[in-house]
Structure 1
Amino acid sequence: MGQNNPPPPSPTASIRRSTSSGGGSGSIILEKYQLGRLLGRGSFAKVYLGRSLDNSDDEVAVKVIDKASTVDAAMEPRILREVSAMRRLHHHPNILKLHEVMATKSKIYLVMELAQGGELFAKLHRCRRFSESTARKYFQQVVSALRFCHQNGVFHRDIKPQNLLLDQNGLLKITDFGLSALSEQKKDGLIYTACGTPAYTAPEVVYRKGYDGEKADAWSCGVLLYAFLVGSLPFDDSNLSNMYRAMHKRSFEFPDWVSKSAKLVIYKLLDPNPNTRLSLDDLIKLSWFKKSFSQENLCSQADQSPRSEFLNRKDSDYLPKVNAFDIISMSSGLDLSGLLEAEVNSKEMRFTSVLEVVVIEEKVVNVGEKLGYRVEKGKGGGIRLVKGRAVLVLQIWEVAIELWLVEVKLVDGSMEFGVLQWGELKSGLGDIVLSWHNEVS
C-alpha cells in the first residue's frame, strides 16, 4: 500500500519481539511481523508499515481489519473479493502483491507489497497535470495490468488515481480490489452489481441491467487519461443526474495542449454505448498507445522483476501463501472457508508452459482420455477430468508474455485418487511442461 512522503527508516531501528497480537503500531502479529507507523486509513481498515521478525530489512504493508467493529454482512463479500482477486493476480508487475493472509479471532491481516512512492493521486495533485509522455507511461501500465486482470477473470470497477500506487522505482501498482467483480459472478456473461466512484464509473453500470466488466474498466481508463492530461475530470457534477446526462452527450472539452491523437483515444474510450466503445485489446493497437511502449520494459525493474523472479523460482510454489487454518478458525462473523475450501481439502499440482493454450488443452484432453477419464468443460471455464468419484479441475492462467501457469486440482474423490494416479497424469503431461512448481501432498 502507499504512503505519503515517508521518512527514511532509521538504520538503528530494531524489532522488539513480544507476544502482543493487537492491531496497532508496535504490535507483533502472530510472531511474524511487527507493525510500525500508520500509513493510511480506509473505509474498513487501517494500513501499517510492517517489518518481518525474521529479517528486519523486509518491509511490507499490513492492512488490519478489525472484525468486531468493521466486518458485517456488507463488508464480508468485499474482503472475500479483494483476497480472491489479489491471489489470482500475483504475477503482474503493475498489480500490488498480496503476500499472505493471516487472522486471529478478532482481526484479519492482509500482508501486502509496500509501495514506497505513495499514491499517484498525490503526485498528480502536486503536478496539476502530467506531460503527454508521462501520462502515456502511466496509462500503458494501467492498461497492461487491467488486461491481465480481465484475462484472469477479474474486473476492477474502481480505477482512479487514488487506487494507483508507485513503488520505490516509480513503477505503477494497481490496488484496492474490494469493489472488483469475478468472472464467476457473471450471469449470462454480464455483471449486474452497481459500484464504483461515480465520476469514473461507466454510465451503463448504474442501470443494473447487466454490463460488460471489461468495457466498464475501459471507460474508467478514458476518464483516467483525461485526468492525467488535463488535470481535472471530464464529468464532475455534484448533481449526479446532470453528470450522467453529460456522459451520454459526451459533453466535455479538451484544452489546447492535448494532442489530437490523445483526444481521439479518450473520445473512443468515453463512448456511452459499450457496444461501440473502444476495448482495451483494440486500444493497445493504436499508434498513440504503442509509442515508447515495451511490455518487457514494464517487466524489468533491475533485479526486482516479478516475471524474472517467477521464472527463477523453479522449486517453489510462487502463488500467494494463505494461512487458511488460522482464518477458518475465527470465532464468528467473516467466514473465508468458501474461498479457501478447495485449498484446504484438495490436492493439486502446478506447472508452467510456454505452449499455446489450445495446445495445452488438447494435450490434457488426450492424456485424460487415454487414462480413462471423462472430459468435461468446467462451469467457470477450464477442463474437468472425471473417473468414478475422482474429479480433477484444470485451470490455465497467463502470468507473463507467452508464459502460462497450469493448475490441476483434485476437488472430489480423494480416497480414490492417490500418488499412483498423480504420477500417471504427471508422466503423461511431461512434454508440455516448462517447470513443475509444487509437489503433490
Structure 2
Amino acid sequence: MKQNQNFSETIFALSSGRLPSGVGVIRISGPQTRFAIETICGNLPVPRQAELRTFRDALGNPVDRGLLLFFPNPYSFTGEDCGEFHLHGGRAVVDAMISLLYTFDNCRLAEPGEFTRRAFANGKFDLTVAEGLADLIAAETDGQRRLALQIASGSQVQLYSSWRSEMIRARALIEAELDFADESDVPGSVSDQVWIAMRDLAERIEQHVADGKRGAIVRDGFRVVIVGAPNAGKSSLLNALAGTDVAIVSDEPGTTRDLIEIKLDLGGLAVLLTDTAGLRETEGRVEQIGIERALDRAHAADLVLLLTDMANPLPAPFIELGAIDTLHIGTKLDAAGMTTSRSYDLTVSIRSGQGMDDLMGALRSRAKRAAGNLADPLPTRRRHMELLGETSREINHAVNDQTAPLEVRAEYLRRASHALGRITGDVDVEDILDVVFSQFCIGK
C-alpha cells in the first residue's frame, strides 16, 4: 500500500499550456473543490459530464462562459474531489479565474507535479507510472512517446511486482524451513528449490539491466559523433544533416574547436549528432582542449562517423575507437575523381548530395537496431538501473553465500525486495519523491 497523506489545502493551476490559446483549462483538486464550484457556478454538474456554465465572481459578475467538469473522490486523477474549468484561453480571462480561486480559504496555486504527486500518494498509481507520465509529456519523438506510454500504462510495475512476489515467496519458504524444520509435513531442504529459482531471477534482472541501454537510447537519444582530420567535411556534414547552418564552415584548419550538437528525429528515434574539432598535432592550447573533448565524446558514442577527404586524405591522429561501432566515410566524392572507395563504408558528396540518402539510411537503421523492440518494458532512468543492480547483487549474495546461516541468506532476499520496492514506491521513497515530481509542469 502506498502511503496516504491528508492534504488539507486545495490546489489549482492552468493545465492546458501557454497562453493565449483557444481554450484554457484550470484544474482544481482538494477538499474545497465542491464549495468553489458551487460558489462560482451555482451547483455541481453531473459527475464526469461536461456542462456549459457561466462562471461568476463573488459579486455575481460573469468572468467567462465555458465547460465545467467535476470528478468526485475517489474516482478522479488525484483521488480527491477534482474539477476543471474550460475557459477561453485569453490571459485576462485565465488571470481573472485564478484570482477568483485565490479568494477561497486554503486554496493556492499548485507546485510543479503536485497533482500527480497527490495521485501517487492516494494510491492511484505507482512511481514508475508517474515517471512514465513525465516522459510522455516530455516526449519529442514517436519512439519516446511509445516507450513512455508503455511505462505509463503499468507494464513496468507489473514486471517488477511479479519479481518482488517471487522473492517474497522464496523468503516464506526459507522461513518455513527455519520455523518447522522438525515437522514431518515440511519437505526437507525446500531452500534448495529456492536458490535455483533465485539464481534464475537474478539472471533475468541482469538481462533487464543490460537492456536498459536500449531504453536510454530511446529516452535520451542515439549518440553519433563525427570525427576526422581538419577539413574532412565534418561541419559541412553536420549542416547538411541539420538542414541549416549550425556550424561554421571554412577552408582554414581548426575552425571548429568545441563540440557542436544537434538533435535529429530519424524514424521516430532521437539522434544526437555531434561535430568535433579536427584531429591533428597542434601547439594551440585551445585547439588541444577541443581535440581532447572530441576524443572523450567519441569514446562515449553509440556510433562514430570517421570522415576522410578522399581528394586529400589526411590521417586522423590519436583516434583509437576499439569496439565502438564506426562508419568510415569518404567525403568530397565530387572532387575525388577516380579515387577508389574500397576502404570506405560509404562515400558522399555534401555539395551534390550524392550518397547522403545512403548515409541517412545507415544512421536510421543503426539507431533502430540499437533501440530494439520497444514493446519490451525497459528501465529508462538511472535510479532504476542502480536499484535493479542492487537487487541482483543482494540476490546473488543470498544464492552464492552457501556457508551463511539461512537467516542471513533470507535477510539478503529481504534487502533485494526492498531495493526493488523503491523503484515502484512500495517502500519509503521520500528522498526521491521531490526529484521525480519536480520534473512535471505546473498543472500536472
Considering the TM-score relative to the shorter chain, is it more than 0.5? no
Q: What TM-score, normalized by structure 1, do the two folds share?
A: 0.25
Q: Which has the higher contact order (CA 8 A, sep 6+)?
A: 2
Larger Rg over CA atoms = 2
Q: What TM-score, normalized by structure 2, do the two folds share?
A: 0.24
